[in-house]
């Protein structure tokens, strides 16, 4: 246990974790990164670039919210990016190939994601296949199905209502940013302040304790995976609407960035500790990083490497701190 009189910094850290559910280090990293980018590239400082970062973060951010719930509950969802791609194609297919009204396309996106997520949950809780394998399999299944539905080509010609969801700018703010921020606020309230959220973290902390407390563990897990899929569907909708096409290759490797954002935000890789506020900081760090590297004309291949390195670094720091705390 820590000494009885922790230092000032330690007390501030503890307070921020207990009251705000965020790790201060991530906020420091975000500010430092933002400052560095602003100094290196004049364009970085503009308001329009700030909105650009938010816009680019919105898709990843929604996926990162999904990753936070799943990982916080002690699970894992590697199929986020593929399910997002499948959902976008499903929506475009309904709107363009079937010619149904736009509202059905929106429903199709989210429903396709929710169904894929529910299948993940059913397999994890009823067939006892580990989440790692189930969602890795779903990563292949959903991607393949997206390619089958679209016959390997992007579906163009979306109706204007859908395009507005991706490209509209009420009050000058991009629609995906508005939807992303609203989703994040609701998700934060649910995870931090509702029974559902508390049970989610207790489940990730100790499944035995949750079961003994009368929480219906399997039922709860199925809801989490379904929710994760539905959020991936929402991300698919945002992406499809923004690029104005149902692209079957959308979201490849996005789960990597989303999970990284969640971990940077303070989510315990093994469950039990998570906050949406923290994840949002993590998602912004990833957004600023990608935006800055792009503006500095760094090839996207290197960006991919940077994301992978950041993921490993974030988990290393988290594990290092846990070991330090338990040793003192």
Contacts with other proteins by CB under 8 A lie at 1-2, 4, 18, 189, 193-196, 198-199, 201-202, 205-206, 208-216, 268, 272-273, 325
**Rounded-to-integer distance, Cα 231 and Cα 240, Å:** 14
**Rounded-to-integer distance, Cα 156 and Cα 296, Å:** 32
- 201 and 274 Cβ atoms separated by less than 8 Å: yes
Site of tokens 């820590």 = 2
**Rounded-to-integer distance, Cα 142 and Cα 246, Å:** 14
Query: Residue 176 Cβ, how far from other proteins at the closest point, in Å?
Result: 25
Query: Residue 193 Cβ, how far from other proteins at the closest point, in Å?
Result: 5
Q: How far apart are the two ends of the chain, measured CA to CA in Å?
A: 6
Query: Residue 19 Cβ, how far from other proteins at the closest point, in Å?
Result: 9
**Tokens, residue 268:** 């315990």
**Rounded-to-integer distance, Cα 72 and Cα 234, Å:** 20
Would you say 1 or 47 has its CB closer to other proteins?
1
Query: Residue 1 Cβ, how far from other proteins at the closest point, in Å?
Result: 6
Would you say 89 or 201 has its CB closer to other proteins?
201
Would you say 45 or 198 has its CB closer to other proteins?
198
**Rounded-to-integer distance, Cα 217 and Cα 328, Å:** 33
Would you say 19 or 172 has its CB closer to other proteins?
19
**Rounded-to-integer distance, Cα 168 and Cα 88, Å:** 18
Query: Residue 22 Cβ, how far from other proteins at the closest point, in Å?
Result: 15
Output Rg (C-alpha) for the chain, integer angstroms. Answer: 20
Query: Residue 130 Cβ, how far from other proteins at the closest point, in Å?
Result: 21
Would you say 99 or 195 has its CB closer to other proteins?
195
Would you say 90 or 274 has its CB closer to other proteins?
274
**Rounded-to-integer distance, Cα 310 and Cα 201, Å:** 25
Burial of 68 from C-beta contacts in 10 A (0-12 / 13-18 / 19+): buried
Would you say 39 or 209 has its CB closer to other proteins?
209
**Angle 175-193/195-205 helices, nearest 10 degrees?**
70
**Rounded-to-integer distance, Cα 316 and Cα 54, Å:** 27
Query: Residue 315 Cβ, how far from other proteins at the closest point, in Å?
Result: 17
């Amino acid at each position: 246990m820590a000494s009885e009189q922790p230092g000032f910094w330690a007390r501030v850290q503890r307070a921020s974790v207990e009251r705000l559910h965020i790790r201060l280090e991530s906020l420091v990293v975000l500010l430092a990164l933002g400052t560095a980018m602003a100094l290196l590239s004049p364009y970085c400082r503009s308001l329009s670039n700030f909105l650009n970062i938010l816009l680019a973060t919105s898709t990843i951010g929604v996926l990162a919210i999904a990753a936070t719930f799943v990982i916080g509950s002690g699970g894992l969802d590697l199929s986020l990016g593929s399910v997002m791609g499948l959902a976008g194609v499903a929506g475009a297919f309904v709107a363009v190939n079937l010619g149904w009204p736009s509202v059905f396309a929106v429903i199709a996106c989210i429903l396709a994601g929710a169904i894929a997520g529910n299948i993940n949950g059913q397999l994890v809780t009823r067939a006892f296949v580990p989440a790692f394998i189930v969602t890795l399999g779903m990563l292949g299944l959903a991607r393949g199905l997206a390619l089958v539905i679209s016959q390997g080509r992007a579906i163009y010609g979306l109706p204007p209502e859908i395009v507005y969801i991706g490209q509209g700018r009420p009050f000058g703010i991009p629609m995906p940013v508005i939807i992303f921020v609203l989703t994040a606020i609701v998700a934060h309230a649910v995870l931090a302040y509702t029974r559902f959220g508390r049970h989610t973290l207790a489940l990730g902390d100790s499944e035995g304790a949750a079961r003994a407390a009368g929480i219906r563990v399997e039922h709860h897990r199925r809801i989490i995976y379904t929710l994760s899929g539905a959020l991936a569907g929402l991300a698919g909708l945002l992406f499809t609407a923004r690029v104005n096409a149902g692209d079957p290759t959308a979201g490849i490797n996005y789960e990597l960035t989303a999970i990284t954002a969640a971990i940077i935000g303070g989510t315990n890789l093994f469950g039990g500790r998570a906050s949406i506020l923290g994840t949002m900081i993590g998602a912004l760090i990833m957004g600023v990083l990608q935006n800055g590297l792009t503006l500095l004309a760094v090839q996207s291949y290197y960006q991919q490497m940077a994301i992978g390195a950041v993921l490993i670094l974030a988990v290393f720091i988290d594990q290092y701190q846990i070991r330090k705390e338990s040793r003192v």
